[in-house]
Chains A and B, each alone.
Chain A
Amino acid sequence: MLLFTIRRLGVMLLTALALTFVVFYMTNLPPNLEKLAKSEASVRMSDEDVALWLDRNGFSSSVLTRYGEWLGVMPGWTRTAEDGTVTGRCITKGVAPTDAPARCGVLQGNWGYSTVFKQPVIEILSRGLGHTGWLMLSVMLVMVPSALIIGVLSGMKEGSRLDRVLSAFSIASTATPEYVSGVILVALLASATAGISPFLVESGLISGKTLFQGTATSAMDDITFWNFTLPVMTIALYGIGYIARMTRASMTEVMTQQYIRTARLKGASFPTIVLRHALRNALIAPFTVIMLQFPWLLNGVVIVETLFNYKGFGWTLVQAAGNNDIQLLLACSVVAVLVVLITQLISDIGYVLLNPRIRLA
């Protein structure tokens, strides 16, 4: 088990390195750098000026070197200008070049400076992650229990009416990506001209213009039921369908197993069979799915935060990517990749723990 975890961690580290390098490479492609130079210095720069600017700012060395610098395993670049002033990656204003540390990368806690927000990346990122954390937490609290309940209920008697109704719901919800369900939910519940809100206003049931709020900007300061429901439901809906279908498939399979017949022929009642004999076996597969759902949740988060103007991690990512903010985008990628890898690890370990067959084999 220990060996397994260590091996898994090794592979994970390797994956993380490979992925961050890919992102680094892709964000530091020459056209991107050129765009950066033009946006930082002047839009009407000639090609030579661009090259000069890039060279002055440490972008002229090879990609690998720069990756090493960014990571913090290689010494940061330094450069002595003709007038004798020394500039360098790790030399901040007001610090003598001799006092500056040799390395300053991600490993040293230096995530760089955002060109869009004019703030250190780490600050923007932690603020965004804080907001997103609440969103994710609410989504999980809504999504996981409801999905499991739907899945188990529809899977325990395959082909029953309950199963058909719940399956239809799950299929419909997996067919609705966030940007579709978001739009429909807003049109239905948060539009002053369409959906149910006009009727509610007319009949005096609600005091505002709409039932729910169509943006979640206010939720960044104060989360309320009215401003947070729509974003949470939008993300959760897609996931509910998916997880419920996995749970249902797993449950129906378990219900046809011979040990379920054994339990039945022991004289166990149907609720006992479902709760004692089927449930644990049926939940092993969905657990992995829930964990692997995180990368997709990340997608949902990006879409929903953009749609509802909620300035969390996803919104930050879109801003960074749309405005060629290289340092910020890199940092976002690192976080995204880490989230994915960690959930994969948890899913692997959890699978082993849940499944006695593997644990002790």
Chain B
Amino acid sequence: MDNLTWPLILGKAAVQFLPVWIALVVVFALSITYKRKLGLYGRLFDSPVGMIGFGIVMFWVFTALFADLIITHAPLEQISGMKNAPPGSLIKGREAEWYLFGGDSLARDVFSRMVMGARRVLSIAPAATLIAFMVGVTLGLPAGYFGGRFDTGTSFAANLVLAFPVILLFYLLVTPEIRDTGIPTVLAAVLFLFPVIFVAVLLNARYRTDPPRRNLYVGITLAIGLWAYSGLAFNADPTGVWSMDPNLLNVFVSVVFVNSPTVYRIVRGITMDLKSRDYVSAAQTRGESPWYIMLWEILPNARGPLIVDFCLRIGYTTILLGTLGFFGLGVSPESPDWGSTINDGRRLLSIFPHPAVVPALALMSLVLGLNLLADGLREESLKD
């Protein structure tokens, strides 16, 4: 057995991704068949740009899901003699086993680490973006709708956060020392409260006229929400279902913190625009509560730009996570996430480029996919 040539490397890699290809084919076949019944998601399949973007994004999502089936080696396994091995190197002393994309400076398999990195990135970025959206929406709606002091105050705070260069903020927020002071926990306590408030207010506004049902729904929300909240923010969940590694919590909270002011500004802007619509006046003239108007009359009609921004923002969050990894902030040294593998690889970049280039291309393609998806969605949502 020899070292592999490039066509063979790519072929073997493609075979490793087999579960992903199957899943992609199934999703596309189903979606295209039923695209007329699937609303905006279905119309995505009318736009080539959107389809490509969706394809790339789903590729990485399935990679993250099936990572265990795809990897050829354990991400931390070091095999002697494979230090900085070029792509397609045959593992010494083994039959038909290669480091497809080569080995890194600690003789680990670059391919497997990239695949596991996808899992790590995709488990943080969408969740952090979602929470940032809940925070931004919960604050942006009343700021745009009521204006006045609340608006002035929250806008000032948002501008404060936005005036910080992101890297400086990360250097201040994501350090081992900070964790001792409990600041991340405080931030988590504040930020994680918003999703609970959001859902509770949403249901309360909708079922205000029907108290028994309202009490049931809001009760369930509060029970589940506060349970998860206690676990995630304070690590105080007695059952232990909800918990978060303090390192991860620190990174997660900082990313949410950086993202929410921008979401807040977008939501505030759209709200100010939509609140002068007649259907809002109609809701006012039948005596609806302000929160009902904000959450059920305004928010659903802002969904187009928000969905688009959501996709873009997941990409941005991925970039931010990479930045954190690049500066070695808040991640354990053996973590396979893309930012830190790029950071590890850059030291020998001009001699052995592959350990840094592989995760770099992976990150780029995921963000590109998200951008294309957002573009496709924007195009299709404007066609109404």
Contacts and interface: CB of A to CB of B under 8 A. Distances in A.
A19 B164 contact: yes
Nearest to A186: B349
A195 B353 contact: yes
A29 B177 contact: yes
B140 interface: no
B364 interface: yes
Interface residues of B, number: 48
Interface string B316-352: 0001001100110000000000010011011001111
Main secondary structure of the interface of B (DSSP, over half): helix
Contacts of A195: 353
Which of the four size classes fits the interface of chain A? 35 or more
A193 B181 contact: no
B163 A190 contact: no
B350 A15 contact: no
A235 to B, nearest CB: 13
B363 interface: yes
Nearest to B328: A322
A192 B351 contact: yes
Given A15-B163, A172-B368, A175-B368, A183 B349 contact: yes
A317 B168 contact: yes
B364 A176 contact: yes
B8 interface: no
Contacts of A332: 168
Contacts of B323: 177, 179, 299, 303
A272 interface: no
Given A29-B178, A192-B351, A299 B167 contact: yes
Given A180-B322, A183-B346, A31 B180 contact: yes
B351 A30 contact: no
A183 B363 CA distance: 12
A183 B160 CA distance: 32
A180 B364 contact: yes
A346 B166 CA distance: 21
Interface stretch (B22-30, B143-151, B354-362): B354-362
A65 to B, nearest CB: 19
A282 B201 CA distance: 41
Contact of A30 (B181, B363, B371): B181
Contact of A183 (B165, B171, B183, B356): B356
B339 A295 contact: no
Nearest to B319: A177
Contact of A321 (B159, B171, B343): B171
9 contacts: A31-B177, A31-B180, A177-B322, A180-B360, A184-B361, A192-B351, A195-B353, A332-B168, A333-B168
Interface of A: 11, 15, 18-19, 22-23, 26-27, 29-32, 35, 171-172, 174-177, 179-180, 183-184, 186-187, 190-195, 210, 214, 295-296, 298-299, 302-303, 306-307, 317-318, 321-322, 329, 332-333, 336-337, 340-341, 344
Interface of B: 156, 159-160, 162-168, 171-173, 177-178, 180-181, 183, 315, 319, 322-323, 326-327, 339, 342-343, 345-346, 349-354, 356-357, 360-361, 363-365, 367-368, 370-372, 375
Q: Which 10 A-B pairs have the closest CB atoms?
A: A187-B353, A175-B368, A31-B177, A321-B171, A175-B367, A180-B360, A26-B172, A298-B165, A214-B350, A177-B319
